[in-house]
């Protein structure tokens, strides 16, 4: 991890991983490192399966994925505690998986089934499982920064030791909401973590046409740190977010974590990416986050082929379960639009990092 310094938007140095001299990560056990790999494999396998279902006409609407960006949602969500709250965006399936949302519910969500996370009310973008502390996104970007900031304000007012985290893209940083959320979070020193998923493009707009100075530099102007990490290194993302969480819980306020990565697919399934310069995808393909973690885990003597096979089998079973699930009752479409009865508080999510498991047991 690297503390930011002023530099032009074109320069994107990829920082080194935070390993000690022996190459061991600071806070991760072997089981953690395997779990990080497993979550990323699960995310990719689900999205690959869903893309095939989309092309068969079995996933309505369009299809957005986070292919090549798995380390950002998985690594950041892994650093969160059970009572923390999170707002994933359209490329952050890994966050839902880390919190414990079952693959069959995700695939059913994509296929519009009654057993999907929203019960068939939306497709592959706008969903969150309130019982797992995951808030579904609204499309206007980056409104979820304001939602996360509001949750962090509530935590502060109630004196609760917990944080809110949200992800958003490079393009989203050009909107006013970005500045409003950053300003209020800085003024109030709120326990919020902002994860900027810098994947080089906002639809077809490259970084050089998005901003003159890397937005991670703006954090300092709002009174808190901005750090840049290699977004294709899941352990580096975890470490950066863990540090941000520790700061937030200590009352030191927000952190902007910029994860530098690459959107390896089009904006959505309809986009052929003709505007991406030749060679860029091949260059980033060499830094695939899953290959990287797989190599580390294999070096620990773990059978990664068996892990992959288990994940593939799990996703196949989930796809079969989702395909067999019923469509929702049309009358259900108008239910849950307005709040009825007593409000149901958000639930806690799975927090598989060994640091929490040890602290809680």
Binding positions for Mg ion, rule: CB under 5 A: 169-170, 199, 202
Q: Which does 83 bind (CB under 5 to 8 A by kind): Mg ion, ligand TPP, none?
A: none
141 binds, among Mg ion, ligand TPP, none (CB under 5 to 8 A by kind): ligand TPP
Shortest reach from residue 72's CB to ligand TPP, in Å:
10
Among 24, 26, 114, 140, binds ligand TPP (CB under 6 A): 140
Stretch that binds ligand TPP, among 169-177, 232-240, 252-260, 323-331 (CB under 6 A): 169-177
Per-residue binding letters, 97-136, with ligand TPP (x by CB under 6 A): ----------------------------------------
Measured from the CB atom, the residue of 144 and 304 that comes closer to ligand TPP is: 144
> What's the per-residue H, E or C state across the chain?
CEECCCCECCCCCCCCCCECCCCCECCCCHHHHHHHHHHHHHHHHHHHHHHHHHHCCCCCCCCCCCCCCHHHHHHHHHCCCCCCEEECCCCCHHHHHHHCCCHHHHHHHHCCCCCCCCCCCCCCCCCCCHHHCECCCCCCCCHHHHHHHHHHHHHHHHCCCCCEEEEEECHHHHCHHHHHHHHHHHHHCCCEEEEEEECCEECCEEHHHCCCECHHHHHHHCCCCEEEEECCCHHHHHHHHHHHHHHHHCCCCCEEEEEECCCCCCCCCCCCCCCCCCCHHHHHHCCCHHHHHHHHHHHCCCCHHHHHHHHHHHHHHHHHHHHHCCCCCHHHHHCCCCCCCCCCCCCCCCCCCHHHHHHHC
By the rule CB under 6 A, 137 interacts with ligand TPP: no
Among 27, 126, 175, 350, indicate the residue that binds ligand TPP (CB under 6 A).
175
Q: Please say which residue, 45 or 257, places its beta carbon nearer to Mg ion.
A: 257
Contacted by 275, from ligand TPP, Mg ion, none: CB < 5 to 8 Å by type: none
Q: Which one, 178 or 356, has the nearer CB to Mg ion?
A: 178
Stretch in the footprint of ligand TPP (CB under 6 A) among 151-159, 198-206, 271-279, 347-355: 198-206
**Interacting partner of 175 out of Mg ion, ligand TPP, none (Cβ under 5 to 8 A depending on kind):** ligand TPP
For the record, the structure tokens of 86 come out as 């999170």
Which range touches ligand TPP (CB under 6 A), out of 6-14, 167-175, 231-239, 276-284?
167-175
Q: Is 275 in the site for ligand TPP (CB under 6 A)?
A: no
Distance between CA 194 and CA 256 in Å, rounded?
5
Instruction: Give the tokens for residue 116.
Output: 């999907």
Q: Which of 70, 170, 235, 239 binds ligand TPP (CB under 6 A)?
A: 170
Q: Which CB sits closer to ligand TPP, 197 or 314?
A: 197
Are the CB atoms for 165 and 88 separated by under 8 Å?
Answer: no
Site string for ligand TPP, 217-256 (x = CB under 6 A): ----------------------------------------
Q: Which among 237, 63, 64, 272 is positioned nearest to 165, based on CA atoms?
A: 237
Peptide bond into 142 cis (omega under 30): yes
Which of 199, 232, 255, 261 lies at the binding interface for ligand TPP (CB under 6 A)?
A: 199
Which one of ligand TPP, Mg ion, none interacts with residue 91, CB within 5 to 8 A by kind?
A: ligand TPP
Catalog residues that contact ligand TPP under the rule CB under 6 A. Answer: 91, 139-141, 169-172, 175, 197, 199, 201-203, 263, 267
């Amino acid at each position: 991890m690297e503390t930011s310094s002023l530099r032009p938007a074109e320069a994107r140095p990829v920082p080194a991983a935070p390993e000690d001299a022996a190459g061991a990560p600071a806070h991760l056990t072997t089981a953690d490192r395997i779990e990080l790999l497993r979550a990323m494999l699960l995310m990719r396998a689900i999205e690959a399966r869903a893309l095939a279902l989309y092309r068969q006409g079995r996933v309505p609407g369009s299809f957005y994925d986070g292919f090549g960006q798995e380390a950002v949602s998985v690594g950041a969500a892994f650093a969160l505690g059970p009572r923390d709250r999170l707002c994933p965006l359209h490329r952050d399936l890994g966050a839902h998986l880390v919190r414990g949302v079952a693959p069959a519910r995700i695939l059913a969500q994509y296929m519009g089934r009654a057993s999907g996370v929203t019960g068939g009310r939306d497709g592959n973008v706008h969903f969150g499982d309130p019982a797992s502390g995951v808030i579904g996104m609204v499309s206007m970007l980056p409104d979820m920064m304001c939602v996360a900031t509001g949750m962090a304000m509530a935590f502060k007012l109630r004196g609760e030791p917990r944080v809110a985290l949200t992800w958003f893209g490079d393009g989203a940083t050009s909107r006013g909401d970005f500045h409003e959320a950053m300003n209020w979070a800085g003024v109030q020193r709120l326990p919020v973590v902002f994860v900027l998923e810098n994947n080089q493009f906002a639809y077809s707009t490259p970084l050089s046409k998005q901003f003159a100075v890397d937005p991670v530099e703006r954090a300092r102007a709002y009174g808190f740190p901005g750090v840049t990490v290699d977004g294709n290194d899941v352990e580096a993302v975890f470490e950066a977010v863990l540090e941000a969480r520790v700061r937030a819980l200590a009352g030191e306020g927000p952190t902007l974590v910029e994860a530098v990565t690459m959107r390896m697919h089009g904006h959505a399934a309809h986009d052929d990416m003709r505007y991406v310069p030749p060679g860029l995808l091949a260059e980033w393909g060499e830094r695939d986050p899953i290959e990287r973690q797989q190599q580390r885990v294999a070096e620990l003597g773990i059978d990664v082929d068996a892990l992959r096979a288990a994940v593939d089998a799990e996703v196949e079973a989930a796809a079969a379960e989702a395909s067999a699930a019923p469509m929702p009752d049309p009358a259900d479409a108008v239910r849950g639009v307005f709040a009825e009865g007593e409000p149901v508080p958000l639930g806690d999510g799975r927090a598989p990092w060994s640091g929490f498991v040890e602290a809680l047991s």
